[in-house]
Chains A and B, each alone.
Chain A
Amino acid sequence: MTLALVLGCAGLLLGVAVLAVAIGRSAAATPVVYGLCLVASLVSCAIGVQHLLAGSAPLSRVLPLGVPWLGAHFRLDALSAYFLAVVGLGSFAASLFALGHGEHEEAPGRVLPFYPAFLAAMILVLVADDAFTFLVSWEFMSLTSWALVMAHHRNPDNVRAAYVYLVMAGFGTLALLLAFGLMAGPDGGYAFMEIRNAHASAGLGALVLILALIGAGSKAGLVPLHAWLPLAHPAAPSQVSALMSGVMTKVAIYGFVRIIFDLIGPPAWWWSMLVLALGGVTAVMGVLYALMQHDLKRLLAYHTVENIGIIFIGLGLALAFKAHGMPLAAALAMTAALLHVLNHSLFKSLLFFGAGAVLTATGERDMERLGGLIRLMPQTAFAFLVGCAAISALPPLNGFVSEWLTFQAILLSPRLPSWGLRLLVPAVGAMLALSAALAAACFVKAFGVTFQGRPRSPAAERARETDRLSLAAMFLLAVLCLIVGVTPGLFIDALAPVVHAAVGARMPAQLGVPWLSIVPIAESRSSYNGLLVFLFMVISGTLAASAIHRLASDRLRRAPAWDCGYPDPSPLTEYTASSFAQPIRRVFGTVVFHARERVEMPTPGDIRPARLSVSLHDVVWEALYKPVTSAVNFAADRLNALQFLTIRQFLSLVFGALVILLGALTIWP
């Protein structure tokens, strides 16, 4: 019944898509479409939560669709339910935001039909229970999001972004296709049930792992397959960017978990090394890329890459512990990863909403032309600040909890018997810590340059606070960030069935623990209580403030900035995003991006201004993608010569083929 309801939601959304095509022109289209999406995603989220909390048994049903003799299998188990809840929540928020924000859309006809279809596709991926249905929904998801990225197609950059995205998505899907082909075997046991029962051999499993890493990783944005992500996510309308970054990447994670922890069976220990290494590199690279950006939405997109890395670190640890038969530790790591899935979807959507609000208010994505918005759009600024604090893993917000859990999982790893992991895990831990610190730095930059200081452009001066519904969406997410941060125990308990299904154990129940604090293993070992920390900070902060205001002075005088005595009113003298990032660029960038700075200092007496030029290289792109493209072009050029043969030469091709085949016949036994 519940499952039918989920499918009903998907069906409704598809229907809405068709409806949108029909009424796309009219003004009522936007509220109607997004309203219906709002309802559908709320329902599916509710179903997910209910199924998860009730801990009910997996539901499944078969529809006479898809591969004819197989039918389309659908199944709602704990894992699907959890991700369904996350996706539903994300799309709910996005739809709410879009209800307000969608009014500013200049090409609604190119967004409205694809938006619901996109949501439907994501829901279908989560409940699909056979390879064909899964891949159809998966690729349909890519296709619809491609169309959404293409929405503002008059900008050539967007067209290019969409193209790169589509090709990468196709690449990933084909990899998954091969993976499923491997698991299903030559006579096509496509149903997940059959795949589960058919136990894959070790080598086969390894191949599947690599293919799954390529397939799901390219969708999630795992370095080095991330290249499309920072291009495509920002190009889409902001509610879609939020969906793609905050939600679709999670669907990719779901795909990986489904394949590796559910379908393929017991893992080999070294798989985890691959996953861990990739995760660590992704986390650090992602945040370093982000630091070098001054396009607000692209910066956020790169942070998605970073967070995906963190999630994969968690998954890798879970894999390692599972392979070595340490279910409790595996449960801890898995919980950390899954909790971070939720957290990231929360604050990344929030941040993209904020960026979208800024974009519509100023028409600018370039931070160097923003600034001072905190005075013009205070509420947006506040929500965005909460998001920044959360993604920077600051207590008492939610980002910290999942990273804390990941650290706790890392601290259990010395018990692992295999040496490789023992050497790798601490390094990964260092990478995790590094990425966390850099993320904080990056969001000081993001918030400081965008919202604080003085406006750097007329557009920034004219900014106005965004509409109510968009704000409602942002504050909803901000509050959720805080709630997850202060009462993580509830969510950890809710995750228990999912984790148990994945690794065969669960974390100790957190509800029994007094004061709502969380205890991964044992209280003597480690514990954390977000609520208490939160209360402490609030109390001591207000205490200090009130005390000072009462006992000492509360007088205040506005004056020009002091700035060591020579303030300059022109916003040009402000610190810009790139100048803010300069120290870190010098520390890390010189190695990672071959960052070079050149200063042209004119000779004394020369009145030309001095120039500082910075050059960065996207190493991954140049090492991986450039060669591929050039190879394709080379092949295309060479083969293209064959278009220009004469008829006689074509005939001689036929003739040659004939002679060769006849010759083959003579030697054929």
Chain B
Amino acid sequence: MSFDAVAAVLIIPLAAAAVLAMLPGYWLSARLNVIAALATFLTALSLFFNRPPAGLYLQVDDLNNVFIVLTTFVGFTTSVFSASYIGHELETGRLTPRFLRFYHAMYQVLMFAMNLALVANNIGLMWVAIELATLTTVLMVGIYRTHEALEAAWKYFILGSVGIALALFGTILVYMAAMPVIGEGLDAMVWTSLIARASQFDPALLNVAFVFLLLGYGTKVGLVPLHAWLPDAHAEGPTPISAVLSGLLLNVALYALLRFKMLLAANPDALAPGPLMVTMGLMSLVFAAFMLYRRRDIKRLFAYSSIEHMGIIAFAFGMGGPLANFAGLLHMTMHSLTKSAIFFAVGHAAQVKGTQQIAKMGGLTESNPVLGWGLVLGVVAIAGLPPLGTFMSEFLVVTSTFAREPWLAIILVFGILAGVGALFLQLNGVAFGEPHGANAEAKASYAPMFAHLALVAVAGVYMPPALVSWFQHVAKLLG
């Protein structure tokens, strides 16, 4: 009975994908897409209450439970957003019905892949799932078939598949490390048994493995210098996909990275993964913060801001300790909610103004107040200003770091400040000043955007104790 929930989380999207692949017609398929996503979300919710025991292939524990719910939730809201968004794309003829079917099917496949990656109890399976997710997104990024879109997809594909290869090599190495201890066969890839006996593994092998996994999955996370695919993929794909990429796929990849970090942390002789993650995190943060200043394309802008926040999160987990880990988890959640909300806003803005060029959109709060203020609120949230949730996580990261590693904290603060400066500099152009640029009428559903922002705002001042205890437990696990 309880196992069904986990299976359902995987089966519903698959079935939906199959149906959607057949289904012609925008209206029906869009509705079905939403319904399927909702169903997945509800089943995921049920996982909170009856949690199945870990199997050979699938498991649900504190760490991934929150992420599953988060993923399915954002998947659901994004499907709502994409319904209105894709509708407009059809009207403007940027998408043909044929590609539309493909799009919806792929959307559900992507959901399936990400859920699988999260519930997988088997590092091989997790790898497969993440690759599947990558390949689906590659196809979706290229869906517009413009020069830029194809190029972005191509770049994403090449860099992504190199990442795939490296991650696989890492996975193999982990197996090699586990084999002598656990013995040959499937067990040596089952997560629960791995983490249980990690202390006896060969540290050197683990280290090499982690290097490969860090680079492999780090490519998906978009850590500098592996980030190159991310901005273009976000900018050129359909906005719902950008939202899912930033909000979910990055999280999933980071989740995989965390799993292996736990593995290393469990082995006393292995190298501490912290410094690596801290370094890459800070690099990503500072680099992305400065990249924000020169962006002309609004979606690319927020893609870089995603890199920045992934940097902060990686930094937090790299620092470790209950506070920093808690902050990292919180920041992951907050960022995926906020960033997807921002992309909802940006998507509609781009449709209204008929362009993604920042220079060509202006005075949004005048011309489209709801949209404009939504965007402002989103940027305020992503900039880490209170009373929104991101502030709490940044507060925890900075305060807990400064007492331990003053210089790191100062670099961190410097990066954050540079990012804030850039974001608001760009925001001034988009949201304020004399309204200019085209002003087409786009029927938009603001519900998802404001739902996300409301959640973030609430989390900024109040968090339900259950969630907190989960986070705290996981934070302890992460060491």
Q: Report which A residues bind B (CB closer than 8 A).
A: 64-69, 72, 109, 131-132, 135-137, 139-140, 143, 150, 153-154, 156, 159, 162-163, 166-167, 170-171, 174, 177-178, 180-182, 184-188, 190, 632-633, 635-637, 639-640, 642-643, 645, 647, 650-651, 653-654, 656-658, 661-662, 665, 668
Contacts and interface: CB of A to CB of B under 8 A. Distances in A.
Interface residues of B, number: 68
A66 B225 CA distance: 36
A171 B417 contact: yes
A654 B228 CA distance: 10
Contact of B461 (A66, A154, A170, A661): A66
Given A190-B399, A668-B271, A650 B433 contact: no
B207 interface: yes
Interface in B395-444: 395-396, 398-404, 409-410, 413, 416-418, 420-422, 424-425, 428, 432-434
Given A654-B219, A657-B215, A177 B432 contact: no
Contact of A174 (B214, B294, B413): B413
Contacts of B214: 661
Contact of A643 (B208, B231, B410): B231
Given A171-B417, A178-B409, A657-B215, 4 more contacts: A132-B392, A170-B417, A636-B291, A662-B211
Contacts of A156: 433
Given A654-B225, A668-B271, A132 B395 contact: yes
Most buried by A among B155, B291, B395, B468: B395
30 contacts: A68-B468, A69-B468, A135-B386, A136-B461, A154-B434, A163-B425, A166-B420, A167-B421, A170-B417, A170-B421, A174-B413, A177-B395, A178-B398, A178-B402, A178-B413, A181-B398, A182-B402, A184-B399, A186-B400, A186-B403, A190-B399, A632-B290, A636-B293, A636-B294, A636-B422, A640-B294, A661-B214, A661-B276, A662-B211, A665-B208
B287 interface: yes
A662 B208 contact: yes
A464 B162 CA distance: 75
A188 B323 contact: yes
Most buried by B among A190, A654, A658, A661: A654
Contacts of A181: 398-403, 409
B403 A654 contact: no
Interface of B: 154-155, 158-159, 162-163, 166, 207-208, 211-212, 214-215, 219, 225-226, 228-229, 231, 271, 276, 287, 290-291, 293-294, 321, 323, 365, 369, 380, 383, 385-387, 391-392, 395-396, 398-404, 409-410, 413, 416-418, 420-422, 424-425, 428, 432-434, 460-463, 465, 468, 472
A661 B215 contact: yes
A68 B154 CA distance: 45
A153 B392 CA distance: 29
A182 B387 CA distance: 22
B158 A647 contact: yes
Contacts of A637: 294
Contact of A153 (B391, B433, B463): B433
Contacts of A668: 207, 271
A668 B206 CA distance: 13
Contacts of B461: 65-66, 72, 136
Contacts of A166: 420, 424
Contact of B387 (A69, A109, A136, A153): A136
Contacts of B207: 665, 668
Given A68-B468, A139-B385, A143-B386, A651 B158 contact: yes
Nearest to A139: B386
A184 B409 CA distance: 15
Nearest to A188: B323
Nearest to A650: B228
Contacts of B271: 665, 668
A640 B276 CA distance: 24
A658 B434 contact: no
A188 B392 contact: no
Contact of B391 (A69, A109, A139): A139
Contacts of B396: 67, 188
A180 B463 CA distance: 22
A541 B387 CA distance: 57
